[in-house]
Structure 1
């Protein structure tokens, strides 16, 4: 058993996120499990870039109201206690609404090279606003 008593909060890199987003790592991928899990907090209007995960991603919303969108234009509004599963390879984004913050626990199963995430371009303001209006 390992008791981890401290996980520093870090601001996420601007080349992967729009707005102010903060992260606390819960678990980093390591042999043999390769689970990566983090508590991620999005301020109003903040969001990820488009991205995908080799083995998919599970998001458990802990607080606030957020959005999760796909390249096909499907956007869902999520709230505390809800879970979203993004399948392997699906390009998607997630973040807070424009008026509320949102926090989630993000979980991925990594691969031999790391967490299996492929980061892409930012979600445009137009794409984000379209998501808000759905």
Structure 2
């Protein structure tokens, strides 16, 4: 299995369980990995034989900057669903790590995140 990784995408969204989060919004970072067969793309140098990661970025942005959700689990699930649907012919599996760098939690920590894998990701 081969993989495409789109790392450290940053977006601004209005997701969260607390009212302030849905009013003020906050930054979100996403890392997405796609399980694909890249052999033909590597041999032919043909973009049509792979997944255009600019399109993956746009899909992630549309979800994160789109409809507010209470849970980042839901946002991550939506990203996975959209990618698997949009690229059904090429993508066998997807891993989404969605990071909330500044959740309203008292204390010292770097961030909170969810990490989900859908489809065949071996």
TM-score, with length taken from structure 1: 0.29
Counting helix residues as a fraction of each chain, which structure ranks higher? 2
Counting strand residues as a fraction of each chain, which structure ranks higher? 1
TM-score, with length taken from structure 2: 0.31
Decide which structure has the larger Cα Rg and report it. Answer: 2
